[in-house]
Amino acid sequence: MNKLKIVGLSALAGTLASLSAAQAGTVSVSGTMEMSWVNLPTHKVTGQQLGQKKNISFSGSGEFANGWSYGIMHAMTDDMTGQSSSSMNLNMGGIATLAYDSGTGGYGANAVDNVVPIAWEEIDYGFATGLTDVGAVSKTHGVVNFTVTAPVAGTSLSISYANRMGTSANADGSTAVGTGAEQGFDVRLDLWNVNSTWFDIRTGMAAEKVTHKNCRNDMSNAAWATATCGAQKGNAYAGTIYQTLGIGPLSAGFQATYKDPGTSGGIENNQAWVAGVALTIGSALSFSCGKGVDEYYYSDNQDATQVNVNASSGFNAWERTHASYRGCSAAGNWGPLALKYVQNSVDNQGGTHDSSANNGDSNKFSEINLSMAF
């Protein structure tokens, strides 16, 4: 009798173990090897201009008996020291998708941070500070996203939520410390998103909010609020609208973005826009050019040389500074081989008056890139 009990318990334990383990689906490996040559203004080049990029990603997928499907992706860092991003999603019959994202930024508002058509890279590529955009929530690690998409017209609603902002990639069964922001959410609405052989159109908008726990507007004691909140006086908000249109080989797009960082002093808000056109020749060649302006609205002055100053404070408060970006890129694709080029420039990068640092010229960046995919 005791033997039977032992055998029965062992069989039950084995069954439970098998139920807790997922059954394997299909897995594929892909990646790219890239060589680049970067050209900067002479006074900025201090080292090697040749570089190399190594990307490897593992993707898996499968299907359930009810027709639903799932997908997973794990990507390795460029220096191959560990995982850089990961995501997993559940597709509910092609209409709704539930996803967990850890660093890919492929969901929510971050997926539309700049939808202006390009041949290769955006016009702010290569600079330390780019155009103001949305996506702070959906590009952080540990984001849950739910998207509902209508067939044919591509109308979709996407909602992303992160219960802690600014955290690093988190292992299962553990927690991570954030960087002061509590939670964030964003919403993206595509009114329509049609992609066909000779006609494309996309119209939409996105918005996000990052909640800061220790903010002055959340505390009744002013002295305590000042001591604990630091530079963050309120929650952060951002919103964007976008429109793209493609007819045959020609495509164009426009996007406008507003962002309020909720900080005390410094930048009150940013108002940015970007526009661009692209031309595709056959299936191998593409060219694009664009322009963008990012207006920084300051509560203090960024240029001490300005004449119009406030007599009491000694500086011109509520200054507006414009960072102007321009750029063109080209790409040629021949199967797994691609040759790409970009040339960008910017004035007043980051909203600062930097002309003297560049000998009266704007910041410039150009790159030639050769990539091979496998």
DSSP per-residue string spanning 321-346? EEEEEEEEEEEEEETTEEEEEEEEEE
Torsion of CA 125, 126, 127, 131, to 10 degrees: 0
Regions of the chain where pLDDT drops below 50:
1, 3-7, 9, 304-315, 356-360
The pLDDT value recorded for residue 84 is 76
What confidence tens digit (pLDDT) does each residue in 202-245 have?
999 999 999 876 555 555 555 555 555 666 777 899 999 999 99
Torsion of CA 148, 150, 153, 159, to 10 degrees: -10
Amino acid at 136: A
The pLDDT value recorded for residue 45 is 60
Contact 342/367 with Cβ under 8 angstroms? yes
The pLDDT value recorded for residue 161 is 96
Placement of tokens 């560990």 in the chain:
82
The pLDDT value recorded for residue 30 is 85
DSSP character for 77? -
Start-to-end Cα distance in the chain: 60
Domain boundaries, the chain: 32-373
Tell me the β-bridge partners of 54: 33
The pLDDT value recorded for residue 120 is 95
Tell me the β-bridge partners of 341: 330, 368
Domain 32-373: state its class. mainly beta
What are the structure tokens assigned to 134, written together?
């949305």
Compute CA distances 216 → 64, 115, 181, 219, whole Å: 50, 35, 14, 5
Q: CB-based contacts of 307: which residues, under 8 Å, 6+ apart?
A: none
> pTM for the full model?
0.83
Residue 236 CB-density burial (10 A; 0-12 exposed, 13-18 middle, 19+ buried): buried
The pLDDT value recorded for residue 34 is 85
Contact 188/161 with Cβ under 8 angstroms? no
The pLDDT value recorded for residue 356 is 45
Rounded Cα–Cα distance for residues 104 and 97 (Å) = 16
The pLDDT value recorded for residue 343 is 96
